[in-house]
Amino acid sequence: MAATKKLKAIREKKTERGFDRSLLDGLAKQNIVLMTGIVNAPVVIAATTFKKGVVIAIAFAVISMLTIFICSFVPKKIVYTLRVIIYALVGSVIYIPTVLLLEQIFPLTVELIGIYMPLIITNALIFSKTESRFYLRRRGEMMIDVFFFAVGFAAVCAVTGALREMICFGTFAGIKLMELNISAFEAPFGGFILVGIMAGTFRALYNFARNRRIKQQQSADNTK
Amino acid sequence: MSMLAAFVNTAMIAMFVENAIFSRALGTSVAFYASRKTGNMVGLGLGIAYVLVVSSLITYPIDGLLCDYEYFYVVMPLIYTVIISIVYTGSLLIVWRFMPKLFKRIKKYVHLSVFNAAVLGALFLNNVYHGDFFAYMGFAVGISAGFMIAVFFLHIANDRLNSPLVPAAFRGMPIMMVFIGIMSLAFYALTGYNTSV
């Protein structure tokens, strides 16, 4: 019953052109790193260079999207407490070809990411968002929704990696840009502080843009 | 005596040097959730400790058997997930059969204490360090205790970090991340980091 209500609320958000704007929520409004903070470890610890950030983003997108798509066929008759086991197992199976393929393309980078690569299997997009959001939609819409969540994560991951690379080594994607070398920022505390500041700034900008849009809309309504 | 020393020594290292949250960011989102209420903090902390210790008892001999296999690192997540799933299902069945009241209370968030980065990440780390049996178990206990210590710190700071003194945009998760960063810096000092000057 509650799920139906949620679904109705989501579908009512459709714009005049018929495009459901809530499908873009994963990019900014519900960005899983900066807004909800449900996926942190790979960004905070492993994304210390732009290249690492990109590799994590690709792995995350492939593993999450395929797992969520395959698990959408799991019957809802099975209680969620047990259904999560299937999600975890499917994610672990998909991880095998994904990591083998990425190793062929980025051999050293995958090794450097270490334990944070397999940890993508247990991400909250698969375990939490599936039940509260993705599986309440039709399959096609669901995949678009998941795609934008993955894009939102990828953007943050790549930007964090690039920023940390510049702060730590003064380079971008291996190209020397400036004489800056604060290598301690490569440590976990650097990741936590940077992601925390990025999240706060992003929220402030998002709220500013939203409030301005509301004001503009209100003034437009008043003139009518 | 040397077994006990190995256990305690590794547990201390796992608790403070390799702290699940401050040094490894394992299970940070679960820690945010757990730090909101005392009940969550204790329940999730004990849940993670239980799953981690019992799973480690099973993964220890498997790690020993498969450590020479070339592609072990690729299938390791699948093997560990199967083990965690067996521990999870078995434990749930026991709780459901013998403690139905407890089952009702925990069934909403029990999966959070099982399928998270803290459990899986700790098993991966234990595989990397692979000491003898007592060191292996000490690491599992230490990581769990370290996770609970970190959640306790977050719980204490929770009210202040959500106070009106903090700018609205930073309230909640962003300031919590900065706080963990500062705590992480303090824990970083424990590893013996020295400035070059």
Domain residue spans of chain B: 2-190
B63-74 pLDDT per residue, tens: 989 888 888 889
Residue B196 has pLDDT above 50, yes or no: no
Residue B111 CA to residue B149 CA, distance in Å, equals: 21
Looking at chain A, list the stretches that DSSP marks H as alpha helix, in order from N- to C-terminal side: 2-12, 41, 50-71, 80-105, 107-113, 124, 130-132, 139-169, 188-223
User: What does the pLDDT read at residue B197?
Assistant: 43
Cross-chain residue pair B174–A127, CB shorter than 8 Å: no
**Which chain B residues have a beta carbon less than 8 Å from that of A119?**
26, 117, 120-121, 124
Q: Which of B78, B184, B188 shows the shortest C-beta gap to A96?
A: B78
**Closest by Cβ to A203, choosing from B24, B84, B169:** B169
Q: How high is the mean pLDDT of chain B?
A: 90
A85: pLDDT strictly greater than 60: yes
Q: CB distance B169–A204 less than 8 Å?
A: yes
CB atoms within 10 A of CB B65: 10
Q: What is the mean pLDDT of residues A193-209?
A: 95
CA separation for the pair A1, A107 (Å, rounded): 49
Question: 82-121 in A: which are within 8 Å (CB) of B?
Answer: 82, 84-85, 87-89, 91-93, 95-96, 99-100, 115, 118-119, 121
Which residues face A171 on adjacent strands? A176
List the single residue in A with minimal CA-CA distance to B112. Answer: A127
Please name the residue of chain A whose CA is at the shortest distance from the CA of residue B178.
A193
In chain A, residues 163-202 whose CB comes closer than 8 Å to chain B: 184, 187-193, 195-197, 199-201
**Between the CA of residue B141 and those of A181, B85, B86, what are the distances in Å?**
37, 20, 20
pLDDT greater than 50 at residue B7: yes
Give the pLDDT of residue A1. Answer: 46
Q: Is the pLDDT of residue A15 over 60?
A: no
Query: What are residue A176's DSSP bridge partners?
Result: A171
| Chain segment B20-63, per-residue pLDDT in tens | 999 999 999 899 988 888 888 888 999 999 999 999 999 999 99
- The CA-atom distances, in angstroms, between B138 and each of A14, B41, B65, B80, B102 are 54, 22, 20, 19, 28
Q: Which pLDDT score is estimated for A95?
A: 96
What ipTM score was computed for the predicted complex, to two decimals?
0.90
Task: Summarize the confidence of residues B147-169 as an average pLDDT.
Answer: 92
In the predicted model, is pLDDT for residue B96 greater than 80? Answer: yes
CA distance B56 to B77: 14
Kind and range of the H or E element at B121? helix B117-129
pLDDT-derived band of residue A16, with 50, 70 and 90 as boundaries?
A: low
Q: Residue A94's pLDDT is what?
A: 97
pLDDT at A80: 86
